[in-house]
Structure 1
Amino acid sequence: MQGGPALRVGRRALVGVVAVLALVGCSSEQAAPPAPTAPVVQLAAPGEASRTLSPDDIAALTAPGHVEADVTFVRDMLYHHGQAMTMTAMVEERTTTRDIRLLAGRMEATQDGEIEQLESWLVERDETVRDLASGEHGHQEDMTGMLSEAELAQLEAAEGTEFDRLFLELMIKHHEGAIDMAYKLYEAGGGSESEVDSIARHVESDQSIEIGRMQQMLAAMGDG
């Protein structure tokens, strides 16, 4: 059924308007796309709740720089990772357990990459990178999870099942210390700079997963 005169006129008028708008669009600058309307969520420090930012919050945001707490955290984590690499280096000659070897290999690959990232972070911010082997780090004993010289010697002297159990127990302790360091970063007023925040979050999430895996391995070994 055909529409009446008024409807046909309306259609012709609409076509004309569309054509004019198309010509105007071709001859003028393209309009900027509308601003995104999706909510923006600000991630909170580990253990705290994230929050959705208002438009005023977003407008007020600036990219914060690093503070001394960030530098301390990065340098401490370098030493912490360095000791973990010392521990994993013992695995090859002291165990024949496939799962322990695979675990140690994964840790070496992950922490080697993180050591490179930590060193680059310091260099890019004109901060001193201390030698992991120099022993000049004056407060290693204050870093949670760090093994004592006696514990390292005990691990180095162990073999077979004894080594496997001790390696898991001490590495769990070591990982728990690294997670504690990540929490303390925020307590000390650090972690606002985006990259160091990302590093701390990765340490917390990755090492929590590895702790769970190691606890399962210990449980499978039983009380023997």
Structure 2
Amino acid sequence: MMSLRLLIPSLLLAAAALTGCSADRSSVTVVQPGRPGETAQVVPLDQVEPPDTAYTDADVRFMQGMIRHHAQALEMTGLVAGRNASAGLPRFAKRVEVSQRDEMDLMVRWLRDRMKQVPSVDSGHGHGGGALMPGMLTEAQLAELRGTKGAQFDRLFYQYMIQHHTGALRMVEQLYAEKGGIEPEIDQFANHVDSDQRIEITRMRQLLAAL
């Protein structure tokens, strides 16, 4: 879903068209959308500046961290075959796998296009030896998941993946709290992650309740 911040240029053009070239810009007001969590403001047209759409360090950290986060989700879905009991789990796990692989490819391209480091996900449950991102499973939790089968595995998988997805939502919140997410591509991707993870959390709670 497109951010309201991207509507600012259109609002400026519309205001200019209504007032004409000779109008006093200080007497014209426009509604300027706020950042996530902030309210919109009515400000004089001559005080509105075009948004800065450059990426920030917070954007880079978000993409690098989310790659490690997604990598662990793929490790979790890779445990399903041969352990699950319910028919719904493999279908759900496949959906997660496909969507998160596609998103990882997007994040890797974004970082490489800007000549930023792409984190390694080959060592240590998808976090490349760095600190765990919000919601990520510890080694003990992963070992517990690997060691279960049947209905117990299904319940544990959903519980831990809900934990994992909830962490991704916190990462999106943190991105905007750190004044990131202004670049249109980052803003669109972060909103997509937020909405997709929320949908999957709702679905997992339904599947968990049905066990």
**TM-score surpassing 0.5?**
yes
Is the Cα contact below 8 Å between 2:31 and 2:40 reproduced in 1?
no
Unaligned residue ranges in structure 2 (runs of 5+): 1-12, 18-29
Is the Cα contact below 8 Å between 2:85 and 2:154 reproduced in 1?
no
Q: After alignment, is 113-122 or 63-72 more displaced?
A: 63-72
1:145 aligns with: 135
Q: After alignment, is 119-128 or 95-104 more displaced?
A: 95-104
Matching residue within 97, 106, 119 for 2:86: 97
**Partner SS for 2:115:** coil
Amino acid paired to 1:61: P
Deviation at 1:81, TM superposition (A): 0.1
* Aligned-residue identity in percent: 40
**Matches of residues 104-183 of structure 1 in structure 2 within 5 Å?**
104-135=93-124, 137=128, 139-141=130-132, 143-183=133-173
> RMSD across aligned C-alpha pairs, in angstroms?
2.5
> What stretches of structure 1 move > 3 A for 4+ residues in a row?
35-44, 47-58, 134-139
CA distance, structure 2, for counterparts of residue 53 and residue 98 of structure 1? 56
CA distance, structure 2, for counterparts of residue 146 and residue 68 of structure 1? 22
How many positions carry a matched residue from both structures? 184
Amino acid paired to 2:210: A
CA distance, structure 1, for counterparts of residue 70 and residue 131 of structure 2? 12
TM-score (norm 1): 0.73
Q: Residues 124, 77 of structure 1: CA spacing in aligned structure 2 closer, same or farther, 3 A cutoff?
A: same
Is the Cα contact below 8 Å between 1:42 and 1:53 reproduced in 2?
no
1:72 aligns with: 61
User: Larger radius of gyration, structure 1 or 2?
Assistant: 1
CA distance, structure 2, for counterparts of residue 115 and residue 43 of structure 1? 29
**Partner SS for 1:93:** coil
Q: Residues 174, 57 of structure 1: CA spacing in aligned structure 2 closer, same or farther, 3 A cutoff?
A: farther
1:185 aligns with: 175
Deviations, residues 159-190 of structure 1 (Å, cap 9, x unaligned): 11001000000000000000000000111121
2:190 aligns with: 200
Deviation at 1:52, TM superposition (A): 8.2
